Amino acid sequence: MSTRQNRLFAALRPVSFAVSAAAALLSSVPLAQANPHILVDVQSGRVIEHEEAFRKWYPASLTKLMTVYTTFDAIRSGQISLDTPIVMSKQAAAQPAAKMYYKPGQKLTLDSALKILMVKSANDIAVAVAEAVAGTQDAFVLRMNAEAVKLGMTDSHFVNPNGLPGKGQYTTARDLAILTVALRRDFPQYAGYFALEGFTNGKTNTPSINLLIGRFAGADGMKTGFICASGFNQIGSATRNGRTVVSVVLGTDSLAARADATANLLEKAFSSPTSSGDTLRSLKPYGPGQDAVTDISADICSAKGAKVRSETRDEVGRMKVQSPYIHEMDHEPNFVFAGLIPGQDPQPDKTTKADAIGDAANVPVPLPRPTSF
The active-site residue, picked from 112, 121, 156, 254, is 121
- What is the end-to-end Cα distance of the chain in Å, rounded? 27
Residues near 242 by beta carbon (within 8 Å), at least 6 away in sequence: none
On whether the CB atoms of residues 362 and 335 are closer than 8 A, the answer is no
Spot the catalytic one: 16, 56, 64, 372.
Answer: 64
**180: enclosing H helix or E strand:** helix 173-186
Radius of gyration for the chain, computed over Cα atoms and rounded to the nearest angstrom: 19
- Tell me, yes or no, if 121 is annotated catalytic: yes
DSSP 8-state secondary structure symbol assigned to residue 227: E
**E strand or H helix at 252:** strand 243-252
Instruction: Please report the sign of the dihedral spanned by the C-alpha atoms of residue 169, residue 175, residue 178, residue 180.
Output: positive
H-type alpha helices, 49-89: 63-76
CA-wise closest residue to 99 among 134, 72, 125 = 125
61 catalytically annotated: yes
The helix/strand/coil state of 259 is helix
Whole-angstrom Cα distance, residue 214 to residue 195? 9
Residue 57 DSSP class: B
Cβ–Cβ under 8 Å, residues 276 and 257: no
Number of helices (H), then strands (E), in the chain: 10, 12
Phi, psi of 94 (to 5 degrees): -85, 0
The single residue of 61, 156, 247, 323 carrying the catalytic annotation is 61
Ramachandran angles phi, psi of 200, nearest 5°:
-130, 145
Distance CA 282, CA 164 (A): 31
* Rounded CA separation 255/367 (Å): 11
Catalytically active residues are 61, 64, 121
